Amino acid sequence: MSTSTPTNKTVGQSDQRISAKRKIKRNKVLTYAAFVGPALLFFLVIQIIPFFMGIYYSFTSWNGVSSAVEWVGLDNYKRIFTNDQRFFDSFWFTTRFMFAAVIISNLIGFSLALLLNAALKTRNILRTVFFIPNVIGGLLLGFIWQFIFVRGFAAVGELTNIGFFQLPWLGDATTAFWGIVIVFAWQISGYMMVIYIAALQGVDTSLLEAAKIDGANAWQTLRRIIIPLILPAFTICFFLTIAMAFKIFDLNLSLTGGGPFNSTQSVAINIYQEAFTNNNYGVGSAKAIIFFVVVAIFTTVQVMITKNKEVEA
């Protein structure tokens, strides 16, 4: 009897410790669920479930209104690839726009970051000024710039006779294309600037001082030291601008509406018109799935290439 009592007490203490550990683990799980659960629920409801519903509707002939949903298999995709030249025209416009917008936006954003990373007294004010266009909604921004292109530039052109301001900015396919690029770059460059500034502030100043002592000029320092060290920022900015440029909708809609003669119609506007104007929700969903695959390929390839450059650097 005397030997069994300590054993029972030890077993009891061990059970209590196991129970306490389980309680702590359960509390951690509940804490994580309380923080992550609502976000995960909203993500499922707003993103994942509609995405899979879109995949399903892309194989149907649903008009978006009727309760009758007819399964048509791959007919929608066949129709797109064989009898929808406007969709591919909009894809060509969006791809050209993406390349131009990504290059210009990042050049401007990086240049502003280099400028405002210097010891300027007004740099905080200038950062705010350059970032403000990013907080303006695309629809409002489009209408503002539409007035500038149509009325403002025309008035300046009449006063100065400068050819640049006398161009039919939104009335010609070429100038309308560059007009959208200009407005997009003006809106998004401030956002890219903030990311580049954060990366530049993480560069070790001792490296820059050592390069200066060794006789490196400003261009050599930028090319050989600064850019390799902030390549992760380029990866992020390229990814964001590619995705934003591909998905352009509100700015394009309010600025040109896809005109003139659908020459500046983005893929997003084409999908919107197909689904909600023509009431071909099944075809519109199929176009959206194709669009998703193309954007995913572009962004994945871009991230892979820039990540490899980071490793090499």
Kindly report, residue by residue over 240-279, the tens digit of the pLDDT.
999 999 999 989 999 988 888 888 999 999 999 999 988 8
Q: Which value, to the nearest 10 degrees, does the dihedral of the CA atoms of residues 12, 16, 22, 23 take?
A: 150
What pLDDT digit, counting tens, does each position of 31-78 carry? 888 888 888 899 899 989 999 999 999 999 988 888 888 899 899 999
**Ranges of the chain with pLDDT below 50:** 1-4
- DSSP annotation of 264 reads T
Q: Which residues on neighbouring strands pair with residue 4, listed in sequence order?
A: none
pLDDT (0 to 100) of residue 15: 64
pLDDT (0 to 100) of residue 216: 84
The H or E element that residue 151 is part of is none
Between CA 96 and CA 240 the distance in angstroms is 17
Helix ranges (DSSP H) in 58-121: 75-83, 85-116
pLDDT (0 to 100) of residue 14: 67
What residue ranges do the domains of the chain occupy?
1-57, 76-312
pLDDT (0 to 100) of residue 10: 66
Between CA 83 and CA 106 the distance in angstroms is 37
- DSSP annotation of 165 reads G
Backbone angles phi, psi at 276, to 5 degrees: -110, -20
Homologous superfamily of domain range 76-312: MetI-like (1.10.3720.10)
Task: Name, in order, each residue with C-beta under 8 angstroms of 255's C-beta and a sequence gap of 6 or more.
Answer: 142, 143, 145, 146, 170, 179, 180, 183
